[in-house]
Amino acid sequence: MEKKKVLVLPGDGIGVDVCNAALPIFDVLALPIELSFGDIGWSCWENEGTPIPVRTWDQISKSDAVLLGAITSKGKDEAEKALPKELQNKNWQYVSPVIQLRQQLGLFANIRPAHYINGDREPFDLCVIRENTEGLYAGFDFKGIPENLDNFLTHPNIGVYGPKEVAWSVRLQTKHGLSRLFKKAFIYAEDHGLKRVTFADKPNVMRESGKFAKDIFFDIASNYPDITADIHNVDAVALWLVKKPHEFGVIVAENMFGDILSDLVAGVMGGLGVAPSANIGSDIAYFEPVHGSAPKMAGKGKANPCALFMSIALMLDYLGYPDHASRLEVAVKHVIKSRVALSYDFGGDATTVEVAKAIIDAYRNQTEGRTVAILTIGDELLSGKSINTNLSDLSQIAEHKGYSVVRQIVCSDSVGDIEQTISKLAGDVDYLVLSGGLGPTSDDRTRFAVAEVAKESLVFNDCSWRHIESRLTNFNVAVDESNRVQAMFPETAAILSNPIGTANGFSLNIYGTKVLVLPGPPAEAKYLLDKYLAEIVNASNSTNSYKWSIMGVSEGEVGTFFETTLKKYDLKLHYLWKYPYVQVEAILPKGHTVADSTLRTIRKEFGKLLISESGEKASEIVSRQNLGINWESNSESISKNISKELSAITSNKNINTTIHFEIYPSLSELLNNKIFTGDCWLVCHDDNGNKDSISFPCRGSEIQVFIKEYLCNFVLRLSESNIKDAVC
Ligand code: IPM
Ligand code: MG
């Protein structure tokens, strides 16, 4: 396959930092993309008198896309001073390289999307599309009014110091430039499911150029009747973008207004650290973060690389890899939302490389980006009248399929409550699973709330109605008019057919979150989730995981040991405290392993307290092995209980070992004396002289679990290595 050629131009300042940190993503993407590197920016200007050397133009012309870090732009005087002596006074002009690229490559549209990432606000999904070649950036920027124009450019202020002491700029608007821009804006809206295109301009002041542009805008808009087209003053748009960004779709604007609005929406999204851009219009597109080169921050490892990753995602989409693009975008959002690694601008202290590494990890580990929230709906659940089994059952199904359940929520039947909860979660998780409230009665409001948040109306579905009628008739239940509501679904919803119940479920996208709406009856909800939540392909194959179950050691101690011992590995550690175990899981990228010597260090550290390397409990392993064991203990009834439990997991046929165990102080003393908080002792032995003992903190009745597990551990060690005198 022909490889796509991407030219990387890191540029200046933090542009270099973010490129160095982010480029390893291309190894993980493993796409047919060939990277090459070129020079651009301030150092080229300083050394060669041009920020884009001829060789770089040549490289650009041979590329499919260009990825830019950031470039320093300075004013006229500073630029002149930065040149070596021999290049000064030649009247060389520093022209912003990005403007040169946009104008010379004919990249007339600057696409600057802004999505909701996190925070307590209504999710939004909008895009500023900025004209990129003309407007106030056309280059008509002059000092002094020439004589032949002094009759034309008149203003009372000019006369005060005379026409030489004047500077003036022209906002160029051409029919060609505006038509192609507006067309692009509507096509973008169509392609991205955005229903509104707003032209932000200033026709009340710029009367001619404003009216000219407005007429062209509405002319183009008439070809897109399904999209709302409106024009507003740019200052008002700025205000409403801050207050209600969720009400916008595409905002299209001339060059300067677009420059300002795109920084504003970047701020609404979280800052320039996350704002990407795509410059498109001809055969070669270029992609860059909206932020600049921030020279003072360069080399300090502080810059946020998220915007570059988001720009890479836009580039992947452009090059024909939309799935990779959206996975990368999800990975960036995941790292920010889960606070795995945050740079200073998001209130954290992670370095550029740490943030980049977290994003690459999140991308690699497919499950990381597959977050699920479960929302169960019903007053009866809140009041406790019904046991909410759906919450745990649906979570288990999702986890089993490789997803990560990050929220469990219960809310009332009120439309307002449901709407508010959905709005908070949409855009924040990859999947939102709702159950309950799809029935025919007045307290079943879920479909109304979902439609309201999705801004869609409910439409009647014949096929679902026939299903309802036939089910009710089969069960000899009269078909009631009230059932018709169960056949109403939001316009864009896909219906999830439910052969085991009356109410079909449905699914639709809200702010990038896939929402699955399921009926409340547990059997139906479980059936539908299992059927419609896809298995994550290769979820378990994409990583390599190690597990350890350790007993009798505090979680803190275990944590410190593992963090230190596994420090050099590229992995994620998870701890689960399940008395009397601390279960540790280390997840490594596929193909990565923990060295045998490290595994031996772990075994040595915990010795007999390392119960399994599979995540299983000792009692689970013993019960699987069906060992014939006779359990003997002192005559106390509590000990007898433990023996009974142990006998239940071992076999009482073909007995080949008797295990004796005793506990000091006696169990009844321990359990009845509530103030006893010291250590207790377990001593055990078999008939062959193998013995063991351990002291452990007394935790009331829980120590029975400890004793049971420890004795199973003893049995396992006996059968494995026939240990003698394992007394600690
Ligand atoms: C941007 C920047 C540029 C612009 C500068 C660096 C010339 O602010 O890409 O938004 O004004 O277009
Ligand atoms: Mg700008």
The minimum-distance atom of ligand 1 relative to the CA of 132 is 12
Q: Atom 9 (ligand 1): residue with closest C-alpha?
A: 290
* Mean predicted confidence (pLDDT) in 689-701: 82
Quote the pLDDT of residue 728: 32
Structural element, H or E, at residue 125: strand 125-131
* Mean predicted confidence (pLDDT) in 458-471: 94
d(CA 184, CA 383): 53
Quote the pLDDT of residue 612: 87
b/e map 252-268, b = 16+ CB within 10 Å: bbbbbbbbebbbbbbeb
Instruction: Say what the pTM is.
Output: 0.61
Quote the pLDDT of residue 167: 97
Whole-number Å distance, alpha carbon 54 to ligand 1 midpoint, is 22
Q: Which is higher by pLDDT, 136 or 655? A: 136
Contact 478, 462 (CB under 8 A): no
Range with the lowest mean pLDDT among 102-106, 135-139, 198-202, 470-474? 470-474
DSSP letter for 148, please: G
Q: Atom 11 (ligand 1): residue with closest C-alpha?
A: 259
Quote the pLDDT of residue 726: 37
The minimum-distance atom of ligand 1 relative to the CA of 71 is 6
Say what percent of the chain tops pLDDT 70. 95
* Mean predicted confidence (pLDDT) in 261-285: 96
Show the ligand 1 pocket: residues with CB < 6 angstroms: 73, 96, 98-99, 259, 290, 292
The residue to mutate among 94, 96, 132, 264, having the most atoms of ligand 1 within 8 angstroms of its beta carbon, is 96
Quote the pLDDT of residue 727: 35
Q: Atom 4 (ligand 1): residue with closest C-alpha?
A: 259
Quote the pLDDT of residue 635: 66
Taking CA 260 as the corner, what is the angle to CA 255 and CA 265, rounded to the nearest 5 degrees?
120
Q: Which is higher by pLDDT, 576 or 36? A: 36
Quote the pLDDT of residue 63: 97
Q: Atom 7 (ligand 1): residue with closest C-alpha?
A: 96
Quote the pLDDT of residue 362: 85
Quote the pLDDT of residue 539: 47
State yes or no: pLDDT of 366 exceeds 70: no
**What is the number of the ligand closest to the CA of 98?**
1
The residue to mutate among 71, 169, 255, 259, having the most atoms of ligand 1 within 8 angstroms of its beta carbon, is 259
Length of the chain: 728
What are the φ/ψ torsions at residue 143 (nearest 5 degrees)?
Answer: -110, 130
* Mean predicted confidence (pLDDT) in 315-338: 90
The minimum-distance atom of ligand 1 relative to the CA of 263 is 10
Q: Which is higher by pLDDT, 126 or 616? A: 126
One-letter amino acid of 576: L
One-letter amino acid of 588: L
Q: Which is higher by pLDDT, 94 or 212? A: 212
**What is the number of the ligand closest to the CA of 102?**
1
State yes or no: pLDDT of 540 exceeds 70: no
State yes or no: pLDDT of 538 exceeds 60: no
Quote the pLDDT of residue 675: 52
Q: Which is higher by pLDDT, 519 or 120? A: 519
Q: Atom 6 (ligand 1): residue with closest C-alpha?
A: 73
pLDDT in tens, 428-448: 788 999 999 999 999 999 999
pLDDT in tens, 368-394: 557 899 999 999 999 999 999 999 999
The minimum-distance atom of ligand 1 relative to the CA of 96 is 7
Whole-number Å distance, alpha carbon 259 to ligand 1 midpoint, is 7
Whole-number Å distance, alpha carbon 259 to ligand 2 midpoint, is 5
Contact 514, 427 (CB under 8 A): no
**What is the number of the ligand closest to the CA of 112?**
1
Quote the pLDDT of residue 721: 54
Quote the pLDDT of residue 415: 95
Contact 576, 583 (CB under 8 A): yes
* Mean predicted confidence (pLDDT) in 518-537: 89
State how beta strands 228-233 and 196-201 pair: parallel
Residue 578 binned pLDDT confidence (cut-offs 50, 70, 90) = confident
DSSP letter for 476, please: T
**What is the number of the ligand closest to the CA of 293?**
1
